[in-house]
Amino acid sequence: MATVTFDGRIVIVMDENTGFDIWCGLDVGKQSHHACALDTAGRRVLDNPLPQDQTKLEELFTRLEGHGRVLVIVDQPNTIGALPIAVAGSMGIQVAYLPGLAMCRAADLYPGSAKTDARDAFIIADTARTIPHTLRRIDADEETLAELKVLVGFDEDLAAEATRLSNRIRGLLTQIHPALERVVGPRLTTKQGLAVIEQLGGPQGMAAASKSRLLKVITKAYPHRAQDFADAITAALAEQTVTVAGTAAAEQVLPQLAASLRQTLDQRHALAAQIEQVVDAHPLAEVLTSMPGVGVRTAARILLDVGDASQFPTAGHLAAYAGLAPVTRRSGTSIRGEFPARSGNKHLKRALFLSAFAALRADPTSKAYYDRKRAQGKKHNAALICLSRRRCDVLFAMLRNREPYRTPAPNPEPSPTPLAA
């Protein structure tokens, strides 16, 4: 089996020397799939629907194995495609994945514009047979990675819900009392900010409470600088004397939203402990978390999307996959230059970007590199992208060599040139 690079990753290449005799394309669905199997000459060996059922899938793969070595290709490796992949893996059959963009481009090469399951299954199988470099390998997930995939997906859902609730609360406060929002909004995800809104409500509820009551609520939630926060709220309430339409309804809604946000944040906190346990069980956990700015959630995302980095021939390929490598665009002599990549794995790119931002405080080497880029005229985000790209190289070397992060030795100061006598 040969390999080539595609979008930064190493992908499998099947040709006449790989020994595959049957290419089975599966257009997967929630209740049923459509299977189309082709031989080396492109003739249909099988073309029929089958239910989302383990027994039927085993019967299909067993029947196909009677014709020789089988490669199963799916268009969706997660959720609805997980069962066919698991069944094929349990039977020792190799599975590949045809990405959606490659599938759409390949479909344009075939006559007709109909969109049917049978046509899609045929295109999947024939593309794998004739254009193998579009495929990506699917390895059977380790138990650790399988658990991580579920936990991280749930964590991302909770993060999105927390952001939605936070934006909703800040939007209501901006509508009815902008001055109060400027004080409470930035602290909304803290214990103090949540306690004030959940127990006292909006501006009317806070104004109706005595100063001692306000201070008691804040202090009970978190005592640090409670008096300063209480004084800031009192001053903000005094800035507006008129009542905006909708304030009464907002007073009823805000405590409920704050309670929901607190529960969501508590769930994320508890889930982080579970993610940490699963990450710690992986042999690369110590390697990843040794890098400044890489926490549990970032390490989990790297393990899911990068693994041990064996799929990437060089650090440049990993950077391209993460969307951190610049894209060169040229058209004759009229257009030249390099531009930020708009493609790549957005989840991984965001994780590496936020990790670089966190490293500015934790790692003097990262801060010095960031300062150099800012001195060269780059804006904040551009300098962080440059830092993310540099850290991507280090991350690749750490994973490849399975070695923890080592702080680079400082460059020696050049000795002054003695003056001529």
Task: Mark out the alpha helices in 188-342 (DSSP H runs).
Answer: 191-200, 203-208, 211-221, 226-238, 247-280, 285-289, 296-305, 315-322
pLDDT band at 3 (very low <50, low <70, confident <90, very high): very low
The answer to the question of residue 372 being in a domain is yes
Same domain, 234 and 273: yes
Read off the amino acid at residue 12: I
pLDDT band at 111 (very low <50, low <70, confident <90, very high): confident
CATH of the domain at 158: 1.10.287
- Quick check: 146 and 248 in contact, CB under 8 A? no
Domain interval for residue 397? 285-401
* Distance spanning both ends of the chain, measured CA to CA: 70
Token look-up 């295109």 returns 123
**What is the pTM assigned to this prediction?**
0.74
pLDDT band at 181 (very low <50, low <70, confident <90, very high): very high
Arithmetic mean of pLDDT over the chain: 88
Give the tens place of pLDDT for each residue, 188-242. 999 999 999 999 999 999 999 999 999 999 999 999 999 999 999 999 999 999 9
Q: How far apart are CA 32 and CA 15, in angstroms?
A: 30
Evaluate if residue 139 carries a pLDDT over 50.
yes
Same domain, 156 and 265: yes
- Quick check: 136 and 97 in contact, CB under 8 A? yes
Cβ neighbours of 36 (radius 10 Å): 25
Contacts of 35 (CB under 8 A, 6+ apart): 24, 25, 26, 46, 47, 48, 49, 50, 60, 121
pLDDT of residue 325: 86
- Quick check: 29 and 80 in contact, CB under 8 A? yes
CATH of the domain at 78: 3.30.420.10
Same domain, 117 and 10: yes
Read off the amino acid at residue 162: A
Closest CA to 102 of 140, 61, 79, 73: 73
- Between 416 and 101, name the one with better pLDDT: 101
Give the tens place of pLDDT for each residue, 65-90. 999 999 999 988 878 888 998 899 89
Same domain, 54 and 99: yes
Q: How far apart are CA 109 and CA 362, in angstroms?
A: 52
Token look-up 């590949």 returns 96
Give the tens place of pLDDT for each residue, 301-320. 999 999 888 888 899 999 99
The answer to the question of residue 339 being in a domain is yes
Contacts of 73 (CB under 8 A, 6+ apart): 23, 24, 25, 26, 95, 96, 97, 98, 124, 125, 127, 128, 135
pLDDT of residue 143: 65
pLDDT of residue 341: 75
Closest CA to 393 of 333, 325, 316: 316
Q: For the residues 265-276, what does the mean pLDDT come to?
A: 95
Same domain, 11 and 134: yes
pLDDT band at 353 (very low <50, low <70, confident <90, very high): very high
Same domain, 296 and 270: no
pLDDT of residue 404: 94
pLDDT of residue 1: 45
**Total number of domains in the chain:** 3
Token look-up 């020397």 returns 17
DSSP SS3 for 407: coil
Same domain, 264 and 332: no
